Structure 1
Amino acid sequence: MIINAFDLSANYFELFDLPIQFDLDLANLASRYRQLQKVAHPDRFAGASEREQRIAVQYTAHINEAYSTLKKPTQRAIYLLSLKGVELDTENNTVMDSGFLMEQLEWREQLDEVKGSTDPDAAVAKLFQIFEKKSNSLQQQFVSAWQENTSKSLVLAASLAKQMLFVDKLLSEAELLEAELDD
């Protein structure tokens, strides 16, 4: 059976037969995801041995995790860094650029002030634009640092990926605020 072809050791890019790079064709990624799911879905192995069923479940989980990681820019950046042996360790290493931290504090204050503004919908929409612009800028900077591929540039790429995490969190908080305003 095809179960022997399932390779749980393949990195996520290899799994989807994609180049190891930040910029990806997300439509191609989604297409490859669907193809892999068709081949590996555990329902296809209902009549197979217990071992083959277990492998199909593990492989499907691997496919799902890989897809979830690669489709999100920040998670993709973190994964790319991990392939180079660079771990962010966001739990213990919270050192950030002071300018970025100040900027983030200002944005948080602006989020807090949205409800009290005269036009909260416009205020949250403006913050979305700011956060998305910052996210795009960080992604572009990450690509430059990643492509340079020196130890110094990888340290910079890791710092940028941490900043991307913070901006993602701000975007999530803005989405929650927007939903709260809609209610």
Structure 2
Amino acid sequence: MNQNYFELFALPVGFALDSAALDQAYRRVQGEVHPDKFAHAGEAERRVAMQWATLANEAYQALKSPLKRARYLCEINGVDLQIETNTSMAPAFLMQQMDWRDALDDAKGVANEAALLKLEGELKRARAAEIEAIAKLIDEQKDYAGAARHVRQLMFVDKFGEEVANAVEALDA
């Protein structure tokens, strides 16, 4: 069952995605394959329905998230993101990482919530910029290898954003 997620939901293949259309398509597919509809069917039919429902859930989760959608698009277009082995990033982004890390350490050291909130804002803007770059590289230029670098950077931004959010929560506790 190696179905293209976009085909499963009858959506155009691309990074830009109408989330309402995705939600509607997901509900339609789930309505057709939900295991409850096959409660009185034979064992084989129930198993196939469960497989389709599982695939629909996986596809929905992958397409709903910009990061997962970008990863999926790179992968189906033959680009291995090499997440475990390729840690190369643009020098400017590496310098930004160091600045963010220092800002987080400084803000946590003196329990400065305003500094943490400012850092959260910077990360939200950086996330939006990475998503915009990915959209352009995938949808306009069809440059999946170039998009892969921004996907890895977006992964860092998201992970670091969680650290900052946890630091804010720790101050509020």
TM-score by length of 2: 0.91
Q: Gaps spanning 5+ residues in structure 1: where?
A: 1-7
Determine helix, strand or coil for the equivalent of 2:78: coil
Matches within 5 A, 1:123-134: 123-134=115-126
**Residue 88 to residue 118, structure 1, CA distance change in 2 (3 Å):** closer
**Alpha-carbon distance in structure 2 between the residues aligned to 1:116 and 1:160:** 31
CA distance in 2, matches of 1:84, 1:110: 37
Q: Which has the higher contact order (CA 8 A, sep 6+)?
A: 2
Give every structure 1 segment of 4 or more consecutive aligned residues whose post-TM-superposition deviation is greater than 4 Å: none
RMSD: 1.6
Shifted more, 26-35 versus 164-173: the winner is 26-35
Matches within 5 A, 1:91-130: 91-117=84-110, 119-120=112-113, 122-130=114-122
Scaled by the length of structure 1, what TM-score is found?
0.86
Residue in 2 aligned with 1:3? none
Deviation of the 1:30 alpha carbon:
1.6
Match of 2:134 in 1: 142
Distance of 2:160 and 2:152 partners within structure 1: 13
The equivalent residue for 1:171 is 161
How far is the alpha carbon of 1:23 from its aligned partner? 1.1
Separation in 1, partners of 2:168, 2:36:
39
Residue number in structure 1 paired with 2:47: 54
Unaligned runs of 5+ in 2: none
Question: Are residues 182 and 31 of structure 1, via their aligned partners in 2, closer, same or farther at CA, if it must alter by over 3 Å?
Answer: farther
